[in-house]
């Protein structure tokens, strides 16, 4: 969390002896100097804090939307390599967190490491069983809870929790719309045979039941994302970015299925 609270400046009050009544009016009181310095520092700090929140939001949107399209083909062909890259993300995040200027990026990258780890494990070896998806995606949840209780790594852990919430809502829709059988078929057949399965799945989505629940769950994600923005805190904006970008990713997958 970016701490935008200004430090308390303590300025020793010098002893000023009045030389003459003619020059006493030109003496600047120390209290006025302190007030002047405070007024100059405060807007800069507030502006920096605002920038940090936007950076966290943008980074969260990027880390949810873009890497999934890189990890998906990588983990399918080279799952061990994808799993090993997790160590690189963790190492890089700790290096960045050790420097004040890059602490934010290291913080959010550490939270992203848990999502990458879960994706590597599930899509590399367990993708044939949809029931295991959420338990594997929650692999970093105990770590996130411990860190948040210690008030450490808030931005990254809130990003991870937002990403996990988006996964929960997406998987919930698969269960409600009865899309799990299509999930099992898609991951077992050759890529050239995927298109007919996706068209059948879309037919299931386009039913009144499927469309109604899609609207409900999208509204849930929108409400969670927009409400988090009202907190005006960096970790909540990272959470919001992860939640809202889930809608974007799901929409892209829907579009890919429609064009298949």
> What's the rounded Cα separation, in Å, for the pair 200 and 53?
42
What is the pTM assigned to this prediction?
Answer: 0.81
Residue 160's CB: how many other CB atoms inside 10 A? Answer: 30
pLDDT > 70 in the chain, percent: 83
Nearest to 227 by CA among 245, 239, 216, 218: 239
Which helix (H) or strand (E) element contains residue 105?
helix 103-121
Residue 11 zone, left/alpha/beta (φ > 0; ψ -120 to 50; rest): beta
Nearest to 127 by CA among 188, 200, 64: 188
- Using DSSP, how many helices (H) and how many strands (E) does the chain show? 11, 0
> What confidence tens digit (pLDDT) does each residue in 171-205 have?
999 999 999 999 999 998 888 889 999 999 999 99
The whole-number pLDDT of residue 34 equals 40
Q: Measure the CA angle with vertex 168, ends 91 and 170; round to 5°.
A: 110
Question: CA torsion 107→233→151→223, rounded to 10°?
Answer: -90
Question: CA torsion 86→89→91→93, rounded to 10°?
Answer: -140
> What's the rounded Cα separation, in Å, for the pair 213 and 206?
11
> What confidence tens digit (pLDDT) does each residue in 77-132 have?
999 999 999 999 999 999 999 999 999 999 999 999 999 999 999 999 999 999 99
> What confidence tens digit (pLDDT) does each residue in 19-49 have?
444 444 444 444 443 443 433 334 447 777 7
Q: What is the dihedral sign for C-alpha 30, 35, 38, 43?
A: negative
């Amino acid at each position: 969390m970016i701490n935008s609270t200004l430090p308390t400046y303590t300025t020793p009050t010098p002893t000023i002896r009045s030389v003459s009544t003619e020059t006493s009016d030109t003496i600047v009181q120390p209290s006025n100097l302190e007030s002047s310095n405070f007024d100059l520092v405060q807007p800069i700090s507030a502006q920096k804090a605002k920038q940090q929140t936007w950076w966290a939001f943008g980074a969260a949107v990027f880390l949810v939307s873009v890497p999934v399209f890189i990890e998906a083909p990588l983990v399918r062909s080279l799952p061990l390599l994808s799993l090993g890259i997790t160590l690189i993300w963790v190492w890089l995040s700790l290096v960045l967190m050790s420097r004040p200027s890059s602490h934010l990026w290291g913080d959010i990258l550490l939270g992203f490491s848990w999502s990458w780890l879960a994706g590597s494990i599930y899509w590399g070896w367990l993708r044939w069983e949809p029931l295991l998806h959420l338990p594997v995606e929650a692999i970093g949840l105990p770590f996130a809870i411990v860190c948040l209780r210690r008030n450490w790594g808030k931005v990254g852990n809130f990003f991870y929790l937002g990403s996990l919430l988006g996964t929960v809502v997406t998987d919930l829709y698969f269960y409600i719309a009865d899309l799990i059988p299509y999930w099992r078929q898609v991951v077992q057949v050759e890529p050239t045979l995927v298109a007919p399965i996706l068209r059948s799945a879309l037919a299931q989505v386009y039913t009144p039941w499927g469309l109604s629940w899609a609207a409900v769950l999208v509204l849930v994600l929108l409400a969670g994302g927009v409400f988090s923005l009202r907190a005006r805190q960096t970790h909540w904006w990272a959470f919001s970015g992860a939640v809202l970008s889930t809608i974007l990713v799901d929409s892209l997958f829907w579009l890919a299925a429609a064009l298949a």
